[in-house]
Amino acid sequence: MSVNVNRYKCGYCGACVGVCPVGALELVETWIEIDNTCTNCGVCAKICPVGALAVVK
Amino acid sequence: MKEKYDIIVVGAGPGGSITAKTCAKAGLDVLLIEKRQEIGDPVRCAEGCAKEGLIKHIQPDKRWIAAEVKGSKIIAPDGTQIKMSEEDSGGKAGYTLERKVFDRALAQEAAIAGAEVMVKTRATGLLRTNGRVSGINAMYMGETHEIKADIVIGADGVESKVGRWGGIDTSLKPDDIDTCAQFLVTNIDAGEYSKFFMGEKYTPGGYVWIFPKGPNSANVGLGILGSKCGKVRPISLLENFMKTNMPEGKVIEIVVGGVPVGGPIERTVADGLILVGDAARQSDPLTGGGIINAMDAGKIAAEVCIKAKEKGDYTIRTLNEYEHRWRATIGKQLIRSLKVKNLLVKLSDEQLNQLAHSLEEIDTSKMPLPKVLPILFKKNPKLLWELRTLFI
């Protein structure tokens, strides 16, 4: 996994799912899942309304 | 759950439920699925909505109307106020909805019309027969199922997967999304108008909204254009706005979400597949409003599904009628709104003030936004020259 989700911050809105260019994210109830197609591009982290996502270098 | 339906609708928001209800009413065999265990919750919406557009689809009901508003007030960075969209009769022009109740009422109408409804049921992929979409893979309570259908409706919102699985690229670029945060604030005087605060002073590439939810409470929120988000976040800007502008307010709910504001996408149908609402990126790029557009699109989609069933043809040949009809109506509005939004985000606070001042001697209180825009253009041709094709 190359994006870290701070689950104490995440508002499970799914905005990150909509911007992921490769469809690597999925929102299941309150849980963001990230699969191994993630390219580390960081768009999800950029647009997160609460800053719950961070690219792991 | 059956093995096969005429129509499977993925997502029980307003767009999905109207599609399901309209198809079921016509006698089609419909399954409406919602991945959350509770329809309508958590909310990701500012809940404002014009009366006129709504009553075409559902009889207003006190249970899901949190408040009625007289009209809108646009507030420029220097505090200049422009009133808009009041009803001629002085009646109430808009609603602030209680989406948790509203979405359930719509799903209930679909169910009563004959649709089967399944909650906590998530689409995980599409079935294909000879290359055409022919159903979904679904997961209910941890178990996977294959459910066949002649047509799958992707009404799965901003986070839509159905379109992508069907070969339609719906991914939003940072410029195509407004990233938002909202508080339900109480212990305030909410007033009788929906208020919109414009300018970089408040938020970059978006606006702050205050939508009354009763005399003492309101949805107070703001959006940032995705491309301008990162260094500042909606949640921290909103906290600042609260401190400065309503220090007495108390927050009883936090709502976050993304709104598609990129305008129409290239394609919303495929063989055996139709996208509706936010999944089809049909929310308004300027206002961010999506409820009415989704319901209008859902109605059109259902009418095309009914025709397809009569003909026994579920290919693009028949489904393209949906594409043509929504683009001729909703689509045109989206394109206009996108042009206006693209210009507005470039204007400085000083220029926004100038626009507001140019309307000072005109009574816009009874005019909807589409009527005010041409006046703005006439008064500020230089500043708004980019929009000339819309008005000349």
The predicted model gives A8-19 an average pLDDT of 98
Measured CB to CB, residues of chain B less than 8 Å from chain A are: 35-37, 42, 44, 122, 157-161, 164, 170-174, 177, 179-181, 226, 229-230, 233-235, 254-258, 260
Angstrom distance (rounded) from CA B105 to CA B64 = 8
pLDDT at B99 over 70: yes
Count of domains in chain B? 1
Angstrom distance (rounded) from CA B170 to CA B265 = 7
- Write out pLDDT tens, residues B145-160: 999 999 999 999 999 9
Nearest chain B residue (CA) to A54: B230
Spatial contact of B73 and B82, defined as CB atoms under 8 Å apart: yes
- Write out pLDDT tens, residues B342-381: 999 999 999 999 999 999 999 999 999 999 999 999 999 9
What is the model's pLDDT at position B23?
98
- Does residue B314 sit within a domain? yes
The predicted model gives A33-46 an average pLDDT of 96
Q: What is the DSSP letter of B262?
A: S
Q: Which residues contact B81 (CB under 8 A, 6 or more apart)?
A: B73, B74, B75, B356
Spatial contact of B24 and B110, defined as CB atoms under 8 Å apart: yes
The predicted model gives A14-38 an average pLDDT of 96
The predicted model gives B77-84 an average pLDDT of 96
Task: Judge whether A43 is closer than 8 Å to chain B, CB to CB.
Answer: yes
- Does residue B201 sit within a domain? no
What percent of chain B has pLDDT above 70? Answer: 100
* Residue B256, CA atoms < 13 Å, CB-side half-sphere: 23
Minimal CA separation from B180 to chain A, in Å: 6
- Does residue B106 sit within a domain? yes
CA distances, A17 to each of A24, B74, B148, B361, B384 (Å): 8, 32, 26, 46, 35
E strand intervals along chain B: 4-10, 30-33, 48-50, 65-69, 71-75, 81-84, 94-97, 116-118, 121-129, 132-140, 143-154, 177-186, 193-198, 207-212, 217-225, 250-260, 269-270, 273-275
pLDDT at B94 over 80: yes
- Residues forming beta bridges with residue B193, ordered by sequence position: B71
pLDDT at A1 over 80: no
Domain range enclosing B149 = 4-44+100-172+265-341
Q: What is the DSSP letter of B171?
A: P
Angstrom distance (rounded) from CA B117 to CA B111 = 6
- Does residue B118 sit within a domain? yes
pLDDT band at B392 (very low <50, low <70, confident <90, very high): confident
pLDDT band at B87 (very low <50, low <70, confident <90, very high): confident
Q: What interface predicted TM-score (ipTM) does this complex get?
A: 0.96
- Write out pLDDT tens, residues B272-293: 999 999 999 999 999 999 999 9
B38, B171, B231, B281, best to mutate vs chain A, most A CBs in 10 Å: B171
- Write out pLDDT tens, residues B327-353: 999 999 999 999 999 999 999 999 999
Looking up tokens 């949190």, which residue turns up? B66
- Write out pLDDT tens, residues B10-47: 999 999 999 999 999 999 999 999 999 999 999 999 99
The predicted model gives A29-43 an average pLDDT of 95
pLDDT band at B262 (very low <50, low <70, confident <90, very high): very high
Please name the member of B36, B161, B255 whose beta carbon is closest to the beta carbon of A29. Answer: B36
pLDDT band at B305 (very low <50, low <70, confident <90, very high): very high
Count of domains in chain A? 1
- Does residue B64 sit within a domain? no
CATH of the domain at A11: 3.30.70.20
CATH of the domain at B297: 3.50.50.60
pLDDT at A2 over 90: no
Nearest chain B residue (CA) to A31: B36
How does the average pLDDT of chain B come out, rounded?
A: 96
Spatial contact of B341 and B261, defined as CB atoms under 8 Å apart: yes
What is the model's pLDDT at position B88?
77
Domain range enclosing A21 = 3-55
